[in-house]
Structure 1
């Protein structure tokens, strides 16, 4: 890399950076075809080289401080490009490490499940007791739910009976009030009839008295005409 007006030390750092960048890229590409521990080893080596590349860029940045302003401006642009490249490599490495950890965790889980047949008798017995306890707990929970359901149904039935009794009580009270009103009406009618009967008797007596008086007058008139 020819850089007129630049620093030979800076150019040396550039060569080191380019070499380590190529190595990191090759390791990342190689990790894609590996699994398990070999892949982890490749990624660990790439991670170390990323740290080395970061240190080289820091040295390059410090070296720029010793250069003239004219050279510094031009080399700073190249340094920013190197930093951008390294950031992309870091992101690629991070994704590869995340994928590797996820795969490793899955393999360990599957391995743990497949190794369940190697459990000793004590562990199996403990697991059996745990399952039995879980079953008993589920049965108790079911019974409790049934009891709660019956209690709710009984409460609902009791509320219905109370509602019916309340309705019947209201009907009885209404009937009683109706009978009291009817009895009062009968009493009034009875008193009215008695009053009418008394008035009729009085009228009959008056009518009879008038008839007797008229008859007496008629007899008196006839007597005068005959014997007068």
Structure 2
């Protein structure tokens, strides 16, 4: 299995595209026609798929740091495109949920043409309170606005979390660069130590050679002195 940064990036990108294709089908394709609990379940699956796709993007951000500079520009463009697609479908999920909440709210609103204790069951709305419909509509609108605000707050928190994650990735990248620089410095120091050690060994070897030559010269001189003295004494 190829474990190079480019191969891993492309593997994560392929997984991301598969998640996006499934999300697109659930939001815009076959899943769009579902209603009720089936639609709610589909949207929950979309949310889980978005989490998985987000994780794939995070892995792509990690792997892109190990890609050579000569190739990184192309992969940065692909990463940017993946982030853009992820943001689009996150917003689409929020919009879809907002639309469903609005539709559910209006489907639960009182029907003026239906029979109720207020209209006597005659099919015509004769409420004693002419402002009751408006009050209920305003109440429903407030509920819808509250739900929209909560969804927007959730989106804001998700974006902040994404930014924090990106910040952590940048910190990790900086630490990785520092470790690589330290490793390079240690390697250069190791090479320098090896060279110094080799020079010291050469100097020691030469010192022993010079010492051996010196001892040899001294031995020869002593021998000559002995020979000269011997000849004088024997003569």
TM-score range, shorter chain: 0.3 to 0.5
Q: TM-score, normalised by structure 2?
A: 0.44
Higher normalized helix content (fraction of residues): 1
Name which structure has the greater RCO, CA cutoff 8 Å, separation 6+: 1
